[in-house]
Each structure stands twice: as C-alpha cells, then as structure tokens.
Amino acid sequence: MENLKLIESAAFDYTLPDNKIARYPLARREDSKLLVLKNDGIVKSQFINIGDFLPEKAILVFNDTKVVKARLLFHNASGAAIELFTLEPEDKSADLQLAFAHESPVIWKCLVGNSKRWKSGTLEMNLLDNHKQITLSVERIRKEDDYSVIQFSWDQSGISFAEILELAGEMPLPPYLNRKAESSDLERYQTVFATYEGSVAAPTAGLHLTEELIKSLKSKNIFFERLTLHVGAGTFKPLSALTIGNHAMHDEKISITRATIQRLLQLAGNPVIAVGTTSLRSLESLFWIATLIRNNKDIHDITVDQWFAYENHVSEINSSTEALQLLIDYLDHHHADVLHATTSIMIVPGYRFRIINGLVTNFHQPKSTLLLLVSALIGDTWKEVYQYALENDFRFLSYGDSCLFMQKQEIQ
C-alpha cells in the first residue's frame, strides 16, 4: 500500500485547452460522442449506439441522486455579495432525506464565497411562494478550516428546507463551466432518473441516457439497476499534493436497496458496468462493506475509509457473489430493506476491481481523483485515449462526451 501512496500526482496531468470544455449541453442527450476502448484500439461513435458495444446481458448500474439548488446568493448591509454553497447537515449521521424534510431552523455545513465581507450578523433574503412572502435568514455559527457552519431559519411553518432551496437556490454548475446557471440547466443538469435529493454535482455519465434509449437497450437484453450516492463538492478537489497518499478523499453517502443487491446476486456472472464514477465507487465499496460486515454483523455506522481497500484483511471475501450474499444476510439480520453507508474509497492504479467489469464515464479534469480511477481501470492507456479525444474534437467535462471502458476480454 505504501508504494501506491507514493504515486506522483503529476503523472495524471495533461493539457486541457479551454475550448475543449463543453460549456453547454447538446440539444439532444444521446447525440454526444462515444469513445470506446476496444481490444484492437479506439473506436469513435455516438452514445445512441452504445448498445452496439455492450456485452450481452450487461447490467448497467446508474446513480439516481438528484442535484439540489445548493448555491444561494445573499448581500450584506453594504451590498456585497455573499454566496453560500450547502454541503451537508452538520450532524453527519443524519439521514439526508430527513435533513431536507426538516422545517426551520436547520444547521448545515457550507462553503462561503466572499467570506471576509461577512464579519458578523444575520443575512436575509425575501422569497415568494404562491403569493406567500417568506424571509430566509442565515447566521454563521462558526468557521472551520474548509467550511462554515450555518443556521438557516425562515418565518413560515409547514415549509421544508428542500422547498426553501428550491425557491432560493441556483443550480450548482461546476466552477470550470465559468458561467451562471440558466433555466435550461434545471432540466439538463439532472439525469432522467434523478430521484433522491442530495447532490451538489450531477453524476454526469448518466446525462447521456434518455428514457427512449433505456427502453431500446432493455429490448436488447441489457439490464438496468440503480443505487444512490450523493455527490459532494469534494469531487472537484484536485490532486494538489505531490503524491496521492497526501490527498484527503471526501466522504459520500451511499444507499442501495435490497432489491438491487438481490438482482446483482441473481445475475451473478453478467458483466456489471457502472454508469459513472460515483456508481463505480459505490459498487466497489459494497465489497468492502461486506468485509466490514463479515467481521462485525452488528455494525451500524458503516464507513469505508480512504485506504481500507489496500490494507491486509485476514477475512477478505473470495468473490462478489459471497460479498453480495453477506449484504443480504446483514439486511435480514437488521430487518432492513436499504443498506446505508459512507465511503471515501480512493481508487488508484494498483486497485483490483471486485464488482465491476466496465465503466461509462465522461472525460475528467487533469490531476483529479476521477482520472486516477480511470487509470486504475485501463492503465496508462488513458493518456492515449485522452490525446485521441483532444485531437478528434471530443467535448470534455460535465456537459461533454462519453467513454466506454471495459476489461479487454469483455468488449465485443
């Protein structure tokens, strides 16, 4: 493990010209380009044709998280703009869906833009909901190194924090888009299967799918399953340390239903393809959650630490099937239908994949943990892939084009 931690961050850098970053989505989701890494090289296609490249009976697992309007703009007494970016409830053990359902007041961790101009006092914003005026107030309780703890309160009962964000907030587009959210982003920066509120960034690989394309793929004997990982702002945190071992990976909440786990178990042997890096991290975390459960069936606050997957585990599980069965047994033991956990797993070159066989993903930022993950799957070939994409007018990052990467023997 120590050798992995010494991998240099600079090895995952490349030059990304500004004109290669997709500032806006295409008119139609499925019209994005698709780069497929095959046994004999790289193939250029369109996402609508992805069914031509998927192995028979593949299981596509997507993330059904929903992006919340996490960015709020206030002004202080002198008129200076103060931006709040909601991250998570102060109580990390809180169920996220319940946290959004809470009424006034609520306490959340937030990033604060132009923080120096907010020295003290309360900031207010007037909102209108069906001709009912609401005053939203925020107060900074304390400031930590990377965030501030903020209390939100509003003067109308019967209104949840989720509703307040819907009224007051803006869609939190990634900072590299370098533009304000527009009305079209409300629909296009969500996947068609977005269900559970909680993310501050979209699981962007899923943005290419449409209901029609999903229906078409199902007719070709492709299976679909879902899980939930709420994407945090840490996904944009670059590799700033000289070596990856000094990068602090962010925590994210996973929820996966008994039905999905059972389906993966029933279809054991079918290729499992993660739609997006968030789905991949969730699926691989399942193996390590099972390892924790095997050692302690009564564990409640399940957390997969950043480097847990690289440590020596005497009771390591022998197969994905065994891992999935352990998860079902755990849910039976606790009379539960949903598995909840937290993961900060960092997937880097040298990682051995236990659950997934392939990945659908976009093109990622230089020196990012997402690029580390891609390299873990396809090795140094990522450099050839990215160079090809740059030379062949592929669009990069959240609103950009897509890739299909699989173990070589899996590609048809």
- In eight-state DSSP terms, residue 170 is B
Cβ pair 87, 110 in contact under 8 A = yes
Whole-angstrom Cα distance, residue 359 to residue 348?
15
For residue range 84-98, list pLDDT tens digits in order: 999 999 987 778 888
pLDDT value at residue 295: 84
For residue range 125-178, list pLDDT tens digits in order: 999 888 889 999 999 999 998 899 999 999 999 999 999 999 999 999 998 998
pLDDT value at residue 276: 97
Task: Report residue 274's pLDDT band, with 50, 70 and 90 as the boundaries.
Answer: very high
Cβ pair 141, 149 in contact under 8 A = yes
For residue range 382-391, list pLDDT tens digits in order: 999 999 999 9
Closest CA relative to residue 167, chosen from 123, 132, 118: 132
**Lowest mean pLDDT, pick from 241-250, 257-266, 366-375, 391-400:** 241-250
> Measured over all CA atoms, what is the biggest interatomic distance in the chain, rounded to whole angstroms?
63
Domain extent listing, the chain: 2-66+187-410, 70-169
Superfamily of domain 2-66+187-410: QueA-like (3.40.1780.10)
pLDDT value at residue 110: 94
For residue range 2-26, list pLDDT tens digits in order: 788 899 999 999 999 999 999 999 9
